[in-house]
Amino acid sequence: QIHTCLSMGVAVGLGKMKISSVPKSCKSVLQNKDFTTGFSSGLHRHFTEMSGGNGWLGKFSIFKNDSIGYMIWLKSLKEHPDIVSYSLRPLYQLVPNKLQKKAVKAAIEKYLEETAVKKSPKEPRCRGYGPYLSSNCCPLHASRGTLSVTIVRGWDLFGDDLSVTDGYAKMFYGSIQHRTKMIESNNPWWNAEFNLGKVDTRLVLKIEVWDEDPKYDDLLVHCEKYLSPGTHTFTCKGDYGSVEAKYTLTCDPYLTGEKC
């Protein structure tokens, strides 16, 4: 019953039905009130998704005629339409006459034969790219590239109360992990470069800085970074210090964009 009432409310709001035609039992629903007590308890909310057109945000009342914006949007669809659904069919199938349909099909086939790009008799050569390209030199997978990461330095590290930090850093990329050497300093320079080779460019790079202790190592800094092609330097600040790192991501041949 509530579904029926709400459908009536939409029809009222868009000017397709008069509120006087709505049953009394539905009016409480449209006003968001409880059936028994009449208390406004927030029974429902509604929102509208639109495709194409302009001049209307999709907001309207479901208890009164509130169709002015809707009518403006409806008229704007003539100049600003959008695709709601579509299907693809050969052009000749749209011709109702069988004889004409056959002629149109023959004409299209002749046009394609005359204007189509001829296939090269020679197979393209894709030397130097290994198993990542198909025989026609197209990439076998998207979001692929070569990655190297350098953990440059840390500063203002606070790992021990009575001595300097025994600091080292880790990097994680998917299942790949690397670690720098430990340096006794609150401001260590590691300059540790790690070549990760071919990677999935959609993963996140994680950098951590740790203080080495006899019993338990302490995590000082943790950060995460999504990557984009090129060479980039970034810094992260944690509760117990900061870290600087840089990376170079090179997309595989013929791959471009933010994630290759």
Quickly state the pLDDT bin for 124 (edges 50, 70, 90).
Answer: low
Give residue-wise pLDDT tens across range 214-247.
889 999 999 999 999 999 999 999 999 999 999 9
**What's the chain's length in residues?**
260
**Between 169 and 23, whose confidence is greater?**
169
What digits encode the pLDDT tens for the residues 44-89? 677 787 788 888 888 888 888 888 888 888 888 888 888 767 677 7
> Around Cβ 133, how many Cβ atoms within 10 Å?
18
pLDDT at 58: 83
Per-residue pLDDT band for 122 (boundaries 50, 70, 90) equals low
Residue 106 CB: number of other CB atoms within 10 A?
A: 11
pTM of the full structure: 0.52
What does the domain layout of the chain look like in residue ranges?
2-76, 144-251
Bigger pLDDT: 135 vs 109: 109
pLDDT category at 129 given cuts 50, 70, 90 is: low
**Least confident window among 46-55, 123-132, 144-153:** 123-132
Residues 6+ apart with CB under 8 A from 176: 196, 199
CA distance 133 to 200: 15
Alpha carbons 250 and 230: distance in angstroms, whole number: 6
The residue-averaged pLDDT of 138-157 equals 93
Contacts of 204 by beta carbon, 8 Å cutoff, 6+ apart: 173, 224, 225, 226
CATH says 144-251 is which class? mainly beta
Instruction: Return the pLDDT at 56.
Output: 85
Q: Which amino acid is at 126?
A: C
Arithmetic mean of pLDDT, 244-252:
96
Q: What share of the chain in percent tops pLDDT 90?
A: 42
- Which two structure tokens, joined as six digits, stand for 60? 């309207």
Highest mean pLDDT: which range of 10-24, 114-128, 129-143, 170-184: 170-184
> Which among 228, 230, 221 has a CA at the least distance from the CA of 259?
228
- The confidence score (pLDDT) of residue 39 equals 47
Average pLDDT over residues 87-108: 87
More confident of the two residues 46 and 151: 151
pLDDT digits (tens, 9 = 90+) for 4-40: 888 898 899 889 999 888 888 888 788 876 554 444 5
* Alpha carbons 129 and 243: distance in angstroms, whole number: 35
pLDDT value, residue 125: 66
